[in-house]
Structure 1
Amino acid sequence: MNLRQTLFNKNLPVHEQLVFCLLLTAVGGFFDAYTFVNCDGIFANAQTGNLIFVGIDLIEGNIPEVIHYSVSIFSFVIGVLVSKVIETKYKELSIFTHIYMLLIVQICALLLIIFKHSFFEIDIRPIVISFICAIQFDGFRKVNNLVFASVFCTGNLRSMSEHLYKYVVLKKKESKTPLLIYSTVIGVFLSGVLLGAAMSKFFLHKAILVPLFIICINLLFVMAIHNKFASKKL
């Protein structure tokens, strides 16, 4: 399979297209760097890291810091629940409508914190962004028929290592494409982190415009595929 077929595989649903998932992954990496730099060390995606901080601060008796990291964890849980409500309550809707709903929820949430990132002196950015990441993680789980995560890389790294072993040691040629896909996903996530860290240091809160722009591009991509699909049915 060549690069073009891998990026745009007409046999796959739009939310499993590599180009769509790479844009999600860039946003996932950006969010973690953004909240870590701008929100006092909170991770938007890596809730394992936030749980570690909660545990350490509990031992040290630092309750304000426990609350500081816990809000992101609870917001992530709520995001997953909202994603499940959308998935089950509106399961009769088309896949395109489902994707539109998930992307538009993310865009609206980002617009909220662009115009008002704190209420009653409470920084709502890590709360909202963790919510967005949970929706993204739960709603988009596959790329090119492969299980993947767009908001953190532990699972992707394990899968890449597995296919590296199969391709190099066991000489299984069918592992070449998954190896390249997982490697690309990890590279794009790191690029998102680098972009998020750099933009956050230079532009602070305004850096959040970057993931908003990327998600809008993804929405336009889905609309283009949807229109093409609809025209073929006529």
Structure 2
Amino acid sequence: MTFSTKNSLTTLLQTFIMGSIDAYTFQNFDGSFVSAQTGNLVVFAYELASKGWHTAYIRVPVLIGFLLGAFISQACKHLKLSTDRRFSIFLLLSVIFLGLFYGSMFTSINELNMLFTLGLFSGYELTVFNKIGGTSVNNAIMTGNLKNFSNNVYEALFSRDHAALIKAGQFLSGICMFILGILFSTYALKANGTNVFLCALVINIILLIIVTIIKEKKPQQD
């Protein structure tokens, strides 16, 4: 399995996971998202203007967590480690995060602390897992993916650009995985945190085993 293949598989599965978590937070935290910060900003500003700070403040922790998660994980990308080792560490950290979230379902964790930590996790995920093939794809915020999908479809159709067609397919695969994550979380898991985090944890444990055991194939010499 090449690094590109491992990266693509991981990004697609993280996209599925982020969709399932967004469905959970939307249902259980007054319409909050952990990945779609545009939505959080719109709701925050609307509630601040119409209902006041005492209602709008709930949107703030996830925004701060997201910014901090993206900042820290960007710094981690500069660690002087081999690409494969760094990738495995990033995936292991994701497993640890999800394990903690699953454990928190059996405690009385504060709502604001939960949103902050989920925002942190989202910023981390979006920063370190963002490649399908050679294309940068956002694994949770679909606005850019939809725009880039449409742009590349145009180039594929009217400029007969084969590379654009491939990119359009990669963007579409990410969009579909995000939707599948939402549907699976809502219908199969009932957007229940215990079920959502356990499922996500199992997915990433299996994925970590796969990318650890299956080494990159080296070209054979004659």
Question: Taking structure 2 as the reference length, what is the TM-score of the superposition?
Answer: 0.87
2:21, 2:191 → 1: CA distance?
15
Kindly report which structure 2 residues correspond to 1:102-121, keeping only aligned pairs within 5 A, or say none: 102-117=90-105, 121=110
The 3-state SS of whatever aligns with 2:4 is: coil
Could you tell me how far 1:119 is from its partner in structure 2? 5.1
| Structure 1: runs of 5+ lacking an equivalent | 1-7
2:12 to 19, 22, 46: 22
2:39 to 40, 49, 56: 49
2:195, 2:71 → 1: CA distance?
29
Could you tell me how far 1:97 is from its partner in structure 2? 2.1
1:189, 1:78 → 2: CA distance?
23
2:18, 2:191 → 1: CA distance?
19
Aligned AA for 1:151? A
1:11, 1:82 → 2: CA distance?
23
1:53, 1:188 → 2: CA distance?
25
2:180 to 191, 201, 212: 191
Could you tell me how far 1:13 is from its partner in structure 2? 6.8
Q: Which residue of 2 aligns with 1:4?
A: none
- Comparing 106-115 and 21-30, the one that deviates more: 106-115
- Counterparts in 2 of 1:59 and 1:165: CA distance versus 1, 3 Å: same
Which string of whole-angstrom CA distances, capped at 9 and with x for unpartnered residues, describes residues 8-61 of structure 1? 6x373732xx32221121112112111111222110100111111110111124
Does structure 1 retain, via aligned residues, the 8 Å contact 2:185–2:196? yes
Could you tell me how far 1:180 is from its partner in structure 2? 1.7
The 3-state SS of whatever aligns with 1:44 is: coil
1:105, 1:165 → 2: CA distance?
38
Q: Which residue of 2 aligns with 1:59?
A: 49
1:59, 1:67 → 2: CA distance?
12
- Counterparts in 2 of 1:12 and 1:100: CA distance versus 1, 3 Å: closer
* Aligned CA-pair RMSD: 2.5
2:144 to 155, 159, 162: 155
2:116 to 111, 127, 148: 127
Aligned AA for 1:80? A
1:34 to 18, 24, 27: 24
Does structure 1 retain, via aligned residues, the 8 Å contact 2:32–2:59? yes
Does structure 2 retain, via aligned residues, the 8 Å contact 1:96–1:222? no
Q: Which residue of 1 aligns with 2:81?
A: 93
Kindly report which structure 2 residues correspond to 1:140-179, keeping only aligned pairs within 5 A, or say none: 140-179=129-168
Aligned AA for 2:81? L
2:14, 2:72 → 1: CA distance?
19
1:144, 1:138 → 2: CA distance?
16
Could you tell me how far 1:112 is from its partner in structure 2? 1.7
- Counterparts in 2 of 1:80 and 1:121: CA distance versus 1, 3 Å: closer
Could you tell me how far 1:128 is from its partner in structure 2? 2.1
Count of aligned residue pairs for this structure pair:
219
Question: Taking structure 1 as the reference length, what is the TM-score of the superposition?
Answer: 0.82
Q: Which residue of 2 aligns with 1:3?
A: none
Q: Structure 1 segments of 4 or more deviating over 6 A? A: none
